[in-house]
Structure 1
Amino acid sequence: MEPYLIISDVDGTLSIDHKHVSAPTVKVLQTLIAQGHQFYVATGRMYVLAEDMAKQVSDKAQVIASNGAVYDFGGGRIHHLLGAPALQQVLQVTNQTGLAAFYFSDDTIYYTQDPTPEVEKAMYAFAPDDVTIAVQQIPAAELVTHADTITNGFILGINNPEGLAKTMMLLAAGNFVHLSASNHDNIELIPKQVDKATAVKELQAKTGISAAHTIVFGDGMNDMGMLQEAGVSVAMGNAVDAVKDVARYQTTSNLDDGVAKFLTDYFNL
């Protein structure tokens, strides 16, 4: 059988509780990997957290992290970086609006302002107990010195929709960074002209696996681009309506092993 490129979002799609992949899903994916298909998790999480989810599936499972800014290929990692101009713009805007911004390399979180307790809790919400994340508070003036490793970031506006909307407007006007959101209280900061779809297209080109043999699962707005790059696009039962409208297929929810059920039927396992 010609190999497929199988790509799954994590939260609300592959994972059942943000930290674990169910045993039935692991079993199906391991079977397909053993048959020669390639499997990637695709998430907004930093690389080290995405890698933890992939390892739950298989040591041969691979990673698209940071909303497409970094991904595995050929035994190494491909990186797209936010860049110094984007970092400087984000600092300027968040200083003006008072929201907290966090910046990510593959294994380190950087921040410049003291976080509120709510924000600090959110920083570690998806971190498993067995994964160590370096967290560094640095002076704002030093942020750009890490521009050669920072791939992405996010801004939190918990209980502050007005501040979040203003921040989004100002960043969009500056046009230095690609903006997305994984839920209603954040802004995802991604390198310009990069998203999960970018990684999918680059992997299709590098692997020689066509869109017709690409299967993508997703549930949120930041999955829509990569769903449109797949010949087999699958919305979870718990997906937002816009995702269901874009996807060619629909499966059950993440809590009902939707990824495993679709793949079992599709490959006649």
Structure 2
Amino acid sequence: MIRLIASDMDGTLLGTKMEVLEENVKAIRFAEKQGITFMAATGRGITEAIPPLKEAGLHCPLITVNGAQAFDENHQEIFTIDIPNQTSKKIMDIFYQHGVYFEVATTQGVFSNSRPRRIENIAMMLANKIPHLTFKMAIAMASAYLDLLAVNYIEDYHKLLDHPDIKILKFITMSQEAGAVLNPVREDLTKLTQTEEIVITSSSPTNIEVNHKNAQKGIAVKHVAEKMGIPLDQVMTIGDNFNDISMLQVAGVSFAMGNAEEEVKQQAKYTTIDHTEAGVAKAIYRAIEENL
């Protein structure tokens, strides 16, 4: 019997307007009535994850920043796994050397050094996640979306290393010219993994995300499940992209979205329909009805 469900958000739980679809909310409520705990497991930081969940009336535990942090249903911190400053500086230097725009997720929120570039990157993510959305429409949506989020702007990211109250959790860079621009960056970051405890993943084909090697969704799901006294064979996970693979691999029941990358589908035990069609709801009902 499933006792814990961990679902990714973007491209999984959320619909085309970055909202939790009503069908998914109903399915989550149905699961909760069966004594099942629902948890969001996202690459977003907590300040970016809470708004759509709150709007849907969902007060649930959270795994955020790809597993760098976890919070209970009251948003009290369970754990934080940050990237040491010396390692962070080396990662920053690689990004700067390649001249790519990047952002830094920290315990004090997300930091950017350019609002126009941030809008462009959010638009790129939306365009990749939402079928038939033009980039112009995505830019408009991104501008409105960012108005809802508290984003910090800073000229030089190195200043974050000198701040005693800020811990760095994740780096992310995006480019529309994914292969040509990102592959050289990925190569240098991969070399860095030989000496530094970092893991490289992505939440779309057009980005690269860097966390501490112990900050992965699969490790976080295992940690939270153990804390709740739930064995992994009674855990269900749902995701759509590469940063979800680790949690799909550890769970007894795992679903890939219909819109998931093919490699991600191969790592899941089951497949559901697209996120725009409330694939999370379909997966939840199936798991409960078939006692997966």
Whether the aligned pair in 1 keeps the contact of 2:4 and 2:236 (CA below 8 Å) is yes
Q: Match of 2:186, as an amino acid?
A: M
TM-score by length of 1: 0.88
Q: Of 167, 179, 198, which aligns to 2:200?
A: 179
**How has the CA–CA distance of structure 1 residues 200 and 160 changed in structure 2, closer, same or farther, with 3 Å as cutoff?**
closer
Q: Shift of residue 202 of structure 1?
A: 0.6
Q: Shift of residue 118 of structure 1?
A: 4.5
Q: For 1:178-205, what per-residue CA distance to the aligned partner results, in whole angstroms no more than 9, with x for missing partners?
A: 1111122211021123211111111121
Q: For 1:237-261, what per-residue CA distance to the aligned partner results, in whole angstroms no more than 9, with x for missing partners?
A: 2222212222111111112211112
**How has the CA–CA distance of structure 1 residues 253 and 92 changed in structure 2, closer, same or farther, with 3 Å as cutoff?**
same
Q: Verify: 1:151 aligned to 2:169, yes or no.
A: yes
Q: How does 1:191-230 map to 2 (within 5 A)?
A: 191-230=212-251
TM-score by length of 2: 0.82
Q: Match of 2:286, as an amino acid?
A: D
2:48 and 2:57 mapped to 1: Cα distance?
15
Q: For 1:80-111, what per-residue CA distance to the aligned partner results, in whole angstroms no more than 9, with x for missing partners?
A: 11220221012211221111121012452224
1:258 and 1:59 mapped to 2: Cα distance?
18
Whether the aligned pair in 1 keeps the contact of 2:104 and 2:110 (CA below 8 Å) is yes
Structure 2 unaligned runs (5+)?
124-141
Secondary structure of the residue aligned to 1:217 is strand
Q: Shift of residue 160 of structure 1?
A: 5.5
Q: Verify: 1:85 aligned to 2:86, yes or no.
A: yes
1:260 and 1:229 mapped to 2: Cα distance?
21
Aligned partner of 2:61 in structure 1 is 62
Q: Match of 2:102, as an amino acid?
A: A
Aligned partner of 2:278 in structure 1 is 257
2:170 and 2:80 mapped to 1: Cα distance?
10
**How has the CA–CA distance of structure 1 residues 35 and 48 changed in structure 2, closer, same or farther, with 3 Å as cutoff?**
same
Secondary structure of the residue aligned to 1:99 is coil
Q: How does 1:238-253 map to 2 (within 5 A)?
A: 238-253=259-274
Structure 1 stretch 93-102 or stretch 139-148: which is displaced more? Answer: 139-148
Q: CA RMSD in A?
A: 2.5
Q: Shift of residue 216 of structure 1?
A: 0.6
**How has the CA–CA distance of structure 1 residues 128 and 62 changed in structure 2, closer, same or farther, with 3 Å as cutoff?**
farther
Q: Shift of residue 42 of structure 1?
A: 1.1
Structure 1 stretch 75-84 or stretch 207-216: which is displaced more? Answer: 75-84
Whether the aligned pair in 2 keeps the contact of 1:107 and 1:133 (CA below 8 Å) is no
Q: Shift of residue 133 of structure 1?
A: 0.9
2:267 and 2:236 mapped to 1: Cα distance?
14
Whether the aligned pair in 2 keeps the contact of 1:11 and 1:18 (CA below 8 Å) is no
1:111 and 1:134 mapped to 2: Cα distance?
7
Secondary structure of the residue aligned to 2:168 is coil
Q: Match of 1:151, as an amino acid?
A: L
Q: Shift of residue 127 of structure 1?
A: 7.4
Secondary structure of the residue aligned to 1:40 is strand
Structure 1 unaligned runs (5+)?
none
Structure 1 stretch 246-255 or stretch 53-62: which is displaced more? Answer: 53-62
Q: Verify: 1:132 aligned to 2:144, yes or no.
A: no
Secondary structure of the residue aligned to 2:16 is coil
Secondary structure of the residue aligned to 1:151 is strand
* Deviating 4+ runs (over 6 angstroms): none
Secondary structure of the residue aligned to 1:267 is helix
Aligned partner of 2:28 in structure 1 is 29
Q: Identity, % of aligned pairs? A: 27
Whether the aligned pair in 1 keeps the contact of 2:6 and 2:39 (CA below 8 Å) is yes
Whether the aligned pair in 2 keeps the contact of 1:107 and 1:134 (CA below 8 Å) is no
Structure 1 stretch 179-188 or stretch 68-77: which is displaced more? Answer: 68-77
How many residue pairs are counted as aligned between the two chains?
Answer: 266
Aligned partner of 2:101 in structure 1 is 100
1:240 and 1:68 mapped to 2: Cα distance?
20
Q: How does 1:111-122 map to 2 (within 5 A)?
A: 111-112=112-113, 114=114, 117-122=116-121
1:82 and 1:92 mapped to 2: Cα distance?
15
